[in-house]
Amino acid sequence: MNTKSYKDFLKEIFPQHKQVRKVSLNAGFSCPNLDGTTGAGGCTYCNNNSFSSVAATQSSLLEQLETGIKNVRKKKKEIGILAYFQSYTNTHAPVQKLREVYTPVVSHSDVAGIAVGTRPDCLPSQVVELLAELNKAKPVIVEIGVQTANNETLKNINRNHTAECTRNAAKSCKDAGLAITAHIIIGLPGENTNDFANTANLVRDCGFSSVKIHPLHIVKGTHFAEEYQKGKIKLLSLEEYCKAATEVIRIVSPDTAIERISGESPSDMLLAPAWSRDRNLIISKLPILCN
């Protein structure tokens, strides 16, 4: 079975660069699911500090970018820079404000392109038009939090959007010529192998260029942490996760590149499972990625 690596996907988008690395940025946006715009309390698994290394930074955007570039290029000077608007919801602001934030980063001479992390309900047509305009200057990748295709689960984890919303957002980005990446979670409470396959089918059918697959992991300071400590959440074993991930990869391949298959939480914030951060261990149990 042919699978596509994220490296291959980046080579297609940035043919002039042998290697491209992300530099994470916090542009100071909020999230509509935290600030009351669409919901309050946030997603039940979310502690933004756990998946964005820059979530708590006080530095300006350009300072963050310069520091990130310096770090990435310590060993290889020629690496292309993909500026990654990672923290919170990076399209949750008026279009004029978004333009002011994105433009200096896109114009930076060391930046090869940008990736913008957001929710499917935060991509109205004016925002997609702006991203499409920037995409003419440098490649723009839109990273969309899909999580699952199951609307009941989306409700239970307090996402405050539906799978239909994901379909519409993906279509409008694709129609505008933008590359899209899906973030999905395997092992959400109440889900089984059929749900994982349905989520993979959604990713494939929407034409996502790449996917980040995360095992459900419990992070301190979240609603899920409280539930887990009360014994109300059962996590997948490493073997169960790898079996499910293999099926997801089989469904989305070869068109969708696999960007990530492990969790992103720092060890001091992770409650469980410990294996979820061990990328090499997970890869060793996913022979499908070696074929």
Q: How far is CA 169 from CA 94, 99, 162, 262, 270, in A?
A: 18, 20, 11, 25, 31
Which span (15-23, 29-37, 126-134, 242-250) binds ligand SF4, by CB under 6 A? 29-37
Compare residues 160 and 172 and give the one whose CB is closer to ligand SF4. Answer: 160
The position carrying tokens 């990530």 is: 260
- 120 touches ligand SF4 (CB under 6 A): no
Q: For the chain, state the CA radius of gyration.
A: 18
The position carrying tokens 């991509």 is: 123
Q: Measured from the CB of residue 281, what is the shortest distance to ligand SF4 in angstroms?
A: 25
Name which position in 24, 33, 91, 253 contacts ligand SF4 (CB under 6 A).
33
Pairing state between β 270-272 and 218-219:
antiparallel
Give CA–CA dist 8/195, Å, rounded: 28
- Left if phi > 0, otherwise alpha if psi is -120 to 50, otherwise beta: which for 224? alpha
Q: Measured from the CB of residue 73, what is the shortest distance to ligand SF4 in angstroms?
A: 29
- 215 touches ligand SF4 (CB under 6 A): no
- Nearest CA to 144 among 201, 219, 210? 210
Give CA–CA dist 173/180, Å, rounded: 7
Q: Measured from the CB of residue 108, what is the shortest distance to ligand SF4 in angstroms?
A: 25
Q: Measured from the CB of residue 224, what is the shortest distance to ligand SF4 in angstroms?
A: 11
- 145 touches ligand SF4 (CB under 6 A): yes
Q: What are the structure tokens assigned to 89, written together?
A: 């919801």
- 43 touches ligand SF4 (CB under 6 A): yes
Q: What are the structure tokens assigned to 285, written together?
A: 């149990």
Q: Which residues contact 151 (CB under 8 A, 6 or more apart)?
A: 162, 163
Residues binding ligand SF4: number (CB under 6 A): 11
Which span (7-15, 27-35, 201-209, 283-291) binds ligand SF4, by CB under 6 A? 27-35
- 80 touches ligand SF4 (CB under 6 A): no
Name which position in 88, 102, 241, 275 contacts ligand SF4 (CB under 6 A).
88
Q: Measured from the CB of residue 43, what is the shortest distance to ligand SF4 in angstroms?
A: 3
* Site of interaction with ligand SF4 (CB under 6 A): 31, 33-34, 42-43, 46, 48, 88-89, 119, 145
